[in-house]
Structure 1
Amino acid sequence: MRPGWVLRAFAGAGYALLLAPALLVAVISFSAGDFLTFPPPGLSLRWYAALVANAELMAALRNSALLALAVAAVALLTGIPAAYAVARLRFPGRDAIAGLLAAPLLLPTLVLGLALLLALQPLRLAATWPGLLLAHSMIALPFAVRIMTTALAAVPRDLEEAAWTLGATPLRAALRVTLPIAAPGAVAAGALCFLVSFDETVISLFLVGPRLSTLPVEMFRYAENRTDPLVAALAMTLIGVALGVVLLVERLVGFTRALGRE
C-alpha cells in the first residue's frame, strides 16, 4: 500500500525541518562577508581557504581522524566478542552484561566526562592519546555491540551447527562461518564508532590539553571568541565527513544488509 499525499507531505515537512539548519550553514560557509549574517553579502571560498590555512584547526582535524580510526578498531575488537556472547551464547548473567555494556549510553556525557577526568588524572592519562582513546572507546563500544548483536542474531544458527557436524570447533565455526556473514554489520559498526568519536565534544573538553586537542573542541573554542563564517565552513567539514562515511557504508554493503535485515 502506497502512502497517501498527506503522509508524504508530513514526511517532506519533517525532512525540510531537519535539513534547513544544515542548508543555512552551507550558504553562510560560502559568505564573502566578515560576520555570520544571512543572507550573505556575497559568495566566496575565502573561509574554506582560511580553514585550510589555519594550522591549529588542521592539526585538530588530523588528531580527530586518527583518534576516530583507532576508536573504531578498538570498539570492533572488543565489541564483536561481546556481541557474539550476548547474541549466540546462553549463560547466567547474560542480560546483566548486555545492560552493563549499554550503560554509557544512559549517563549524561557531562557526568561521564567528569568521572573520566577524575579517574584518568591520577594515572596521568588526561590530555594523552591513551586517555582519549580509552574515553572515546567507552562511549563507542555500546554502538558496536548493539549493531553487531543485531547482525549476529540474524545469522542462522543452523550454519554453525552444520560446521560443527563437519568437524569444526565452535571457535573455528564462529570465525569461518558466522563472522564473515555478519561482516557488513561490522562495517556499519566501525563507521558509526568512527563518527561517534569524530564528533564527540563534551567528554573531550574534559580530557584534551594544550598540546592535544580534537576538531570539535577547537571548533567550540573558536566559536566562543569569533563570529566569522569560518565556523560555518568548519561545520560543513564535519557534516561532509559524516556524509562521506555514511555514503561509503551504503556503497560498500548497504544499510539494510549491514544491519542483518536482508
Structure 2
Amino acid sequence: MKPTLALRLLACVGYLVLLSPAALVLLISFSAGDFLTFPPPGFSTRWYVALAGNSVLMSALGTSAILAAVVAVVALLVGGPAAYAIARLEFPGRGVLAALLTAPLLLPTLVLGLALLLVLQPLGLAATWPGLVLGHCLVAIPFAVRIMTTAFAGVPKELEAAAWTLGATPFQAALRITLPNAAPGAIAAGVLTFLVSFDETVISLFLVGPRLTTLPVEMFRYAEHTTDPLIAALAMTLIAFAALMVLLVERLMGFSNAMGRE
C-alpha cells in the first residue's frame, strides 16, 4: 500500500523538525563571528582551521578513536561467539543468556557510570585505558550481540549441514561457511559499536582523568567555558562522520536489519 499525500507531508515535516538543529549548527559552524550567535554576522571557515590547530581537542580525538577501535574489536571477539551460540545452537538457558547480554541497555548510563567508578576505583583502574575499555564494552557488547545474532540467523543452516556431510567439523563449518556469510553483519556491528564507544559521554565522565580524557568529555568541558563557534565546527565534523558510518551499515545489510527489525 502506497503512503498517502498527507502521510508524506507529515514525514517531511518530521524530517524538517529532526534536521533543523543540525542545519542551525551547520550555519553557525561557518560563522565569521567570535561568539555563538544566529544569524551569523558573516561566513568563514576560520573555526574549522582553528579546530585542526586545537591540540587539546585533537589529542582527545585521537584517544577516542583508539579507544573506540579497541572497544569495537573486543565487542566483536566477545559478542560474536555469544551471538553464534544464541542464533545457531540449542541449549538450556539460551534465552537467559540473551537477556543478560542485553541487560546493560536497560539501565541508565548514569547508573552504569557510577557503578563502574565504585568498582574500578578500588582496583586502581579508574582513569586508565583498561577501565575505559571495560566501561565502554559494557554498553557496546549488547549492540554487537544483537546485530551479530541477526546476521548469523540469516545464514541458512543447510549450508552448515552440507559442510558437515563433506567432512567438515562443526567448528570448521562455522568458521569457513557461516562466518564469511555473516561478514556484512560483523562489519555493521563493528561500525556501530565504534560509534557507540566514540560517542559515549556519561560513563566517560566518571572514568576519565586529567591525563586521559575522551573527545565527548572535552567537548562538554569546552562548551562550559567557551562560547565560540569552534564547538559547532567540531559537532558538524562528528555528525558528518557518523552519517557516513550509518550509510556504510545501510549499504552492507540495511539499518533496520542490523538492529534486528523486520
2:26 partner amino acid: A
2:159 partner amino acid: L
Q: How does 1:200-219 map to 2 (within 5 A)?
A: 200-219=200-219
Residue of structure 2 in register with 1:63 after alignment: 63
- Aligned sequence identity (%): 72
Secondary structure of the residue aligned to 2:244 is helix
Contact kept? 2:150, 2:257, Cα under 8 Å: no
Change (3 A) 1:216 1:257: closer
**Partner deviation per Cα, 1:125-146 (whole Å, 9 max, x = no partner):** 1111111111111110000000
Secondary structure of the residue aligned to 1:118 is helix
| Residue 39 of structure 1 pairs with residue 39 of structure 2 | yes
Contact kept? 2:26, 2:232, Cα under 8 Å: yes
Residue of structure 2 in register with 1:73 after alignment: 73
Contact kept? 1:33, 1:41, Cα under 8 Å: yes
Following TM superposition, the consecutive aligned residue runs of length 4 or more in structure 1 with deviations greater than 4 angstroms are none
Secondary structure of the residue aligned to 1:102 is helix
| Residue 165 of structure 1 pairs with residue 165 of structure 2 | yes
Residue of structure 2 in register with 1:108 after alignment: 108
Residue of structure 1 in register with 2:155 after alignment: 155
Provide the rounded CA distance (Å) in 1 between the counterparts of 2:127 and 2:120: 9
Deviation for aligned residue 1:7 = 1.1
Provide the rounded CA distance (Å) in 1 between the counterparts of 2:181 and 2:194: 22
Deviation for aligned residue 1:237 = 1.8
**Partner deviation per Cα, 1:122-169 (whole Å, 9 max, x = no partner):** 111111111111111111000000001111111111111111111111
2:34 partner amino acid: D
Question: Which deviates further from its counterpart, 194-203 or 48-57?
Answer: 48-57
Residue of structure 2 in register with 1:192 after alignment: 192
Residue of structure 1 in register with 2:14 after alignment: 14
Deviation for aligned residue 1:238 = 1.4
Note the residue ranges of structure 1 that are not aligned, 5 or more in a row: none
Question: TM-score scaled to structure 1, two decimals?
Answer: 0.95
Provide the rounded CA distance (Å) in 2 between the counterparts of 1:5 and 1:218: 45
Contact kept? 1:184, 1:258, Cα under 8 Å: no
| Residue 255 of structure 1 pairs with residue 254 of structure 2 | yes
Deviation for aligned residue 1:12 = 0.8
Contact kept? 1:140, 1:196, Cα under 8 Å: yes
Provide the rounded CA distance (Å) in 1 between the counterparts of 2:157 and 2:207: 43
Deviation for aligned residue 1:249 = 3.6
Question: How well do the aligned residues superpose, as a CA RMSD in angstroms?
Answer: 1.7
Question: TM-score scaled to structure 2, two decimals?
Answer: 0.95
